[in-house]
Chain A
Amino acid sequence: MPRYNILLAGVGGQGLLTLGSIIGNAAIEEGIDATIAETHGLSQRGGSLVVHVRLGDGSSPLIPHGGANLIIGLEALETLRYLNYANKDTKIVMNEFLWPPPLSKTPKLEDIIKAISSSARLYVVNANEEAKKVTGLIVTANTLILGFAYMIDKDLQSLLSEKSLEKGLERVFRGKALELNRKALKAGMELAKKTI
């Protein structure tokens, strides 16, 4: 069976590696195999970054172009940049956040949204603001957007139960951070229910 592929795109420092770890740990809870290919080192310093999450049997770590089932974009430019990992059936969940690289000219957020919508099924979430509302912390935007993506993606739901996802959080966070991330995950799910 082909593996289920999630591409995480964003800017180094936004917490992509943690997001990948949550999904991978959820997979362990569910008893399915996974590989999560990360980028460390120099590229993490504010550079363009992707993490390849692949669920199901197999060890080849990179998602083929056109092979993503789901793309979670934590920043608008980076979501657009990696759109060639999508095919026409790919679901894309994007943070409503445009972070221009220093000294650059960037397209407008609404133009990016228009462009992506023309090629694939796009959901836009203002995760930074929503997360701040719920937890007071912008760093929980990632968990919130994961909750959202989970709720709009039936295929992902059939692979991972909600319980496994929550247990995935428990394997990554402790104490207060765990509490806040639980809240953010739920908030993302609720937000998706309202959107659909």
Chain B
Amino acid sequence: MTNPLLYPKGSTVLLLGNEAIARGAIESAIGFAAAYPGTPSTEIIEALASVAKDVGFYVEWSTNEKVAFEAAYAAALCGVKSLVAMKHVGVNVAADILMSSAYAGVNAGFVVVSADDPGQHSSQNEQDNRWYGMLAHIPVIEPWSPRSAYKLIKEAFKLSEKYKHPVIFRSTTRISHTRQPVTYEDDIPKPKTKGVFDRDIKRYVLIPIHGRKLKKILMEKWHKISSEEGKPPLVEVINPGRPKAIIASGIAYAHVTEALDYLGAKDDYTILRVSLPVPLPYKPVIDVAKDAKEILVVEELDPIVEYQVKKIIQEQGLEAKVYGKEYVPTDLDLDLEKVYKAIKMFRGETPETPWKPVEVPKVEPGIPPRPPVLCPGCPHRNTFYIIKTAANKAGLKDPIYTGDIGCYTLGYNEPFKTQMTSFEMGGSIGVAHGLSKVVDEPVIAVIGDSTFYHAGIPPAINIVYNKGRAIVLVLDNYYTAMTGHQPHPGTGYTAMGEETYRVPAEKLLESMGFKTFVINPMNVKESIEKVVEAYKAYKEGEYVAIVSRMKCALQAQREARKKGIKLPAYGINEDKCRGCMVCVNLLACPAIIVPEGKKKPVILTDLCAGCGLCAQVCPFNAIEVVREGSPDWIKAWM
């Protein structure tokens, strides 16, 4: 079966926004793509990796966003078209080289996809990365739908080639993670994957004497883009000449058109559709503002277009009154309702909507919240149970657990509380070191495997170098699990599915000077003993690291299915169970529930992953295998 991403010109395929970006990039003949996974950007590189060998371009999961940027940028310097993708906070990690890339420019199309997350669906903040365009003097293109993303990513490559300059392509969650039918406009060209490095030292060595000259060239490009690129498809004036106008950037355009449909007011306004918000081309804005006395700017998050519109109008001495963030929220994702209300207010009407929701009826007790939880069989559950039990046994009093970014962040919740901070990738270890210098409690940095390779190594070295007193705990489940099991340096294969060298975390930690303990958290008792030993060594003043290694449960179950291995399932023997609730209260496994009105828990067999943690924890041996696994089932977890 052919991958739908490879279908010929004219095919209509239901594509996720990220897949649409991937297909557009393939049609642009990219030869190189790199990324570090992060929601909502991940599927761009996943899609590209799934067809890389068929088309003949190169794809990698790099160790972090900065490294990915550098790799893809180097390709573009040599004349190979390239793409680098990351989530919004990933751009923070890559910001250093991003700033420099604007000075040195490129020799082939180079697009930086920033997938922002308004609404913080899976992120620590909702920063608006269009600012990075302003900061770095790199143009920003933002689509309004998956289909427009497919078309506009191609425009992004054209713009980059035209100016020999990097381009930021800013998607958001509601574009990256929305599906839409996309009809392919072009066939897939043969990409160029080899280039030439010309030793243009004055351009590539950014010492002050070179940089100052390059800044002048940069500003010339910048002014040229804002004066010449204000035309379709990047910027389009619809219904010119109306006395009122709406300027809609990115996804706001999708909401505005539908809201105006509902209002029956499509012809009442001049619409300026903006897909190049940075730098906002001034000509179309002047055209609109000459006729319109009132302008509403609709955009998601920050008033970046609004500020520029106001500046242009002021500079031109025009009189249009500009509205924006008075009516349009600055937080969360925009939607049809919010934009409908904003337009109503702009019209001077009460912000009522035509939709009449029913009230959610009251029930007793109320609807409990359902935050994300660790899956049945998740190895992090075992590890959290083990490290807490071991702390009690070893007399390690009131440890502070610093945390990081990954599924294990869910350990912040009851009953674990083994994540007390979570700021950014790798932060657990750096913060743990600082804490260990100023507090008396023991400090344990809890970090995932992928996150450790990403940004955990320099702060781990810092602990040993600067005589910190924090323990490093690496949760190694073999994958970048939260974003969908991408491989990383500890997995053993690459994005393109090739076998490769493994970089075991314990070897790195040992070489730094940590006394390193490796546990398999499926063996609970043995692991507790080993961690007690580790804690004792810590108390005696040693540098201590622990690596807890067990495969992600989702992946273990997937592999078991694939290989025809049957995993065991557990059940609770009602005669032996005394209803002590240890399994429920200490493990919070979604497969163990207490049915309404009952005093003893039951295990939902369909959901049980067969990890057996509950059976090892039950004080009355009441949890038993109810469905035998294949003889070699344990291999699926290794």
Contact = CB atoms under 8 A, between A and B. Distances in A.
Contacts of A67: 336, 355
Contacts of B365: 105-107
Nearest to B367: A81
Given A42-B407, A48-B370, A60 B357 contact: no
B50 interface: no
A81 B588 CA distance: 22
Contacts of B42: 40-41
Interface stretch (A27-35, A148-156, A158-166, A184-192): A27-35
Nearest to A58: B258
Contacts of A108: 596-597
A47 B372 contact: yes
A100 B179 CA distance: 30
A180 to B, nearest CB: 14
A196 interface: no
Contacts of A41: 39-40, 42, 121-122, 482-483
A78 B363 contact: no
A78 B355 contact: no
Interface string A39-76: 11111111110000000001111101111000000000
A62 B363 contact: no
A59 B121 contact: no
Interface in B70-110: none
A65 B357 contact: yes
B358 A100 contact: no
A21 B372 contact: no
Contacts of A88: 356, 358
B309 to A, nearest CB: 22
Interface centre among A37, A78, A83, A88 (most CB of B within 10 A): A37
Interface string A87-106: 11010000000111111111
B363 A115 contact: yes
Contacts of A61: 145, 174, 178, 254, 335
B337 A65 contact: yes
A103 B414 contact: yes
Contacts of B622: none
A24 interface: yes
A115 B358 CA distance: 12
Given A47-B373, A59-B144, A25 B357 contact: no
Q: Interface on chain B toward A: helix, strand, loop, or mixed SS?
A: loop
Interface in B577-613: 584-585, 588-590, 592-594, 596-597, 604, 606
Contact of A60 (B40, B179, B255): B255
Interface string B170-188: 0000100111110000000
B325 to A, nearest CB: 20
A195 interface: no
Contact of A119 (B353, B361, B584): B361
B14 A28 contact: yes
B482 A42 contact: yes
Nearest to A3: B258
B369 A101 contact: yes
B358 A119 contact: yes
Contacts of A85: 357
Given A24-B179, A34-B181, A87 B357 contact: yes
Given A39-B177, A103-B414, A118 B361 contact: yes
A84 interface: yes
B589 A60 contact: no
Given A64-B355, A86-B357, A105-B365, A42 B179 contact: no
Nearest to A52: B178
Interface string B245-264: 00000000011011101100
Contact of A28 (B12, B357, B588): B12
A67 B364 CA distance: 27
B359 interface: yes
B1 interface: yes
Given A58-B257, A77-B367, A103-B415, A84 B359 contact: yes
Nearest to B363: A107
B198 to A, nearest CB: 41
A174 interface: yes
A21 B14 contact: yes
Given A41-B482, A83-B360, A62 B335 contact: yes
Contacts of A35: 145-146, 178-180
A125 interface: no
A37 to B, nearest CB: 5
B375 interface: yes
Given A80-B360, A86-B358, A37 B177 contact: yes
Contacts of B407: 42, 45
A134 interface: no
A12 B588 contact: no
A46 B590 contact: yes
A44 B353 CA distance: 31
Contact of B372 (A12, A33, A128): A12
A28 B356 CA distance: 30
Nearest to A47: B372
B154 interface: no
A112 interface: yes
A55 B177 CA distance: 17
B1 to A, nearest CB: 6
B90 to A, nearest CB: 13
B360 A103 contact: no
Contacts of B362: 115
B114 to A, nearest CB: 16
A112 B363 contact: yes
A124 interface: no
Contacts of B604: 99
Interface string B347-387: 00000010111111111111111111111000000000000
A83 B415 CA distance: 30
Nearest to A46: B373
A103 B584 contact: yes
A103 B592 CA distance: 10
A154 to B, nearest CB: 21
Contacts of B414: 103
B474 interface: no
Interface string B25-47: 00000000000000110110000
A64 B336 contact: yes
Given A77-B370, A105-B368, A24 B181 contact: yes
A112 to B, nearest CB: 6
Contacts of A106: 365, 367-368, 596
Given A62-B333, A85-B357, A100-B368, 10 more contacts: A24-B181, A38-B177, A42-B409, A46-B373, A60-B257, A77-B367, A80-B360, A87-B357, A88-B356, A99-B590
5 contacts: A13-B375, A46-B375, A59-B180, A103-B584, A105-B368
Smallest CB-CB A-B distances: 4 pairs: A41-B39, A66-B357, A41-B122, A47-B372
